[in-house]
A and B are shown apart, each in its own frame.
Chain A
Amino acid sequence: MKSLWTLYRRELDLAWGRGGGPLLACAFYACVATLLPLAAGPSPERLAAVAPGSAWLALALASLLSLERLFERDYEDGALDLLTLGPAAIEAVAFVKCLAQWTANGLPLAVFAPLAAVALGAPVEVAPLTLACALIGGLGFAFVGGTGAALALGARRGGVLVAVVVLPLFAPPVIFGAGTIEAFAAGLNWTPGFAFLTAYSLAAVALTPLAMGAAVRNALS
């Protein structure tokens, strides 16, 4: 347990030390959110209608940014060998890496999400729910994305491969997350969507470490 905590701290340190990776993801998020009014037209009614959906799309894309190198760097520099020959199963290592990924990137992005949604014209009342959805959805993004990153290990053009593998799997949280916020804004019952989003993320947390472990083992042998 103590060694996993040490690993978690190191992963956070690496994420923040990497030229401010999380800030870069937030900046990317802001850019995508700013481009949208330019593409869709600036009329407030039109923007308000697509605000939750676009905020979620931008969130999914921004989450992808730093995922590509989640395992690749450790694979290239030999750290993955070292992590495999440690006190914890590789599944536990993958779990900790994704959790750190969420802490370093998912949390700042989640704080940004309500800002983007409101800036695009969503009502201010949706901000708390947007934050909650982005926090929970971000957890799913980190773990499902980590699976894609592990599967793409050692592949040429791994970054594009990660996007192609992972983006379809991001469909459920995008649907449920945006749906929840739209339902809330329209005064409808938003709890089922929120429950599905939570279920998706928890299932990802529970199951994907097994897949990541298998993928990493395969890449190393």
Chain B
Amino acid sequence: MIARVSVENLSVGRGERVLFQGLSFALAAGEAVALIGANGAGKTSLLRAVAGFVRPLAGQVRFEGADGEREPDEARAQGLHLLGHHDGLKPGRTAWEELRFQSLWAGGTEQSARAAVEKMQLKPLLDLEIRKLSAGQRRRVSLARLAAAPRPLWLLDEPLAPLDAERRVRMGELMAAHLTGGGMILAAVHDPLPVPARAVEIGAAVA
């Protein structure tokens, strides 16, 4: 289990363009960090770099467990949820089929998936095909995976954007419970997170 993530002197680019340079911050168990910055500043790229999908130009991301440093690939495979704009939900399958698969694949169980359905109030949507869901409903299905499969590090890309006020409150409760349990949240946001979070600004130098 990951107990600490350190981003050290990280530089990330897209193509020829450098998005940000020399970014350093750390995230310990029970902490949340809100990544803020303009559109295109590199918030999503930073999340993907932490998840290991973007190779940094310089610097590194380190993962530590309670008993010392962890191999990044190993820490990532079982230790984090990445939830971005592309949620991997298949249009032709039902919400329940997809939630069940994503939860099992991420290390959850059928029971924990059912519990997540309750928590995210998804019951009325379960038999609907993904293609028939609204953006907000679809986001709730993908967020339910966080509750269904316990993993310490959540990397969230604008998790609340399509949600209505009531669901934002629910999501706030879910995040608070995760942090209380020793989890970590790194979220790219434009609105404030519903839990106490440190703000890290990205790409301030890039206009």
Residues of A near any B CB (own CB < 8 A): 2-3, 6-7, 10, 13-14, 17-18, 74, 76-87, 220-221
Contacts and interface: CB of A to CB of B under 8 A. Distances in A.
Contact of A86 (B52, B53, B90, B106): B106
Given A78-B86, A81-B88, A86-B77, A3 B53 contact: no
Where chain B touches its partner, the secondary structure class is loop
B172 interface: no
Contacts of B78: 87
Nearest to A5: B104
Where chain A touches its partner, the secondary structure class is helix
B53 A220 contact: yes
Contact of B101 (A6, A85, A221): A6
A76 B90 CA distance: 11
Contacts of A221: 52-55
A81 B84 contact: yes
Nearest to B79: A85
Contact of A82 (B52, B55, B92, B105): B105
Interface in B69-113: 76-78, 80-82, 84-90, 92-93, 97, 101-102, 104-107
Contact of B86 (A14, A77, A87): A77
Contacts of B87: 77-78
B202 interface: no
Contact of A81 (B82, B90, B97, B107): B82
Contacts of A17: 92-93
B32 interface: no
A81 B77 contact: no
B105 A87 contact: yes
B35 interface: no
Nearest to B55: A221
A2 B110 CA distance: 12
A3 B108 CA distance: 10
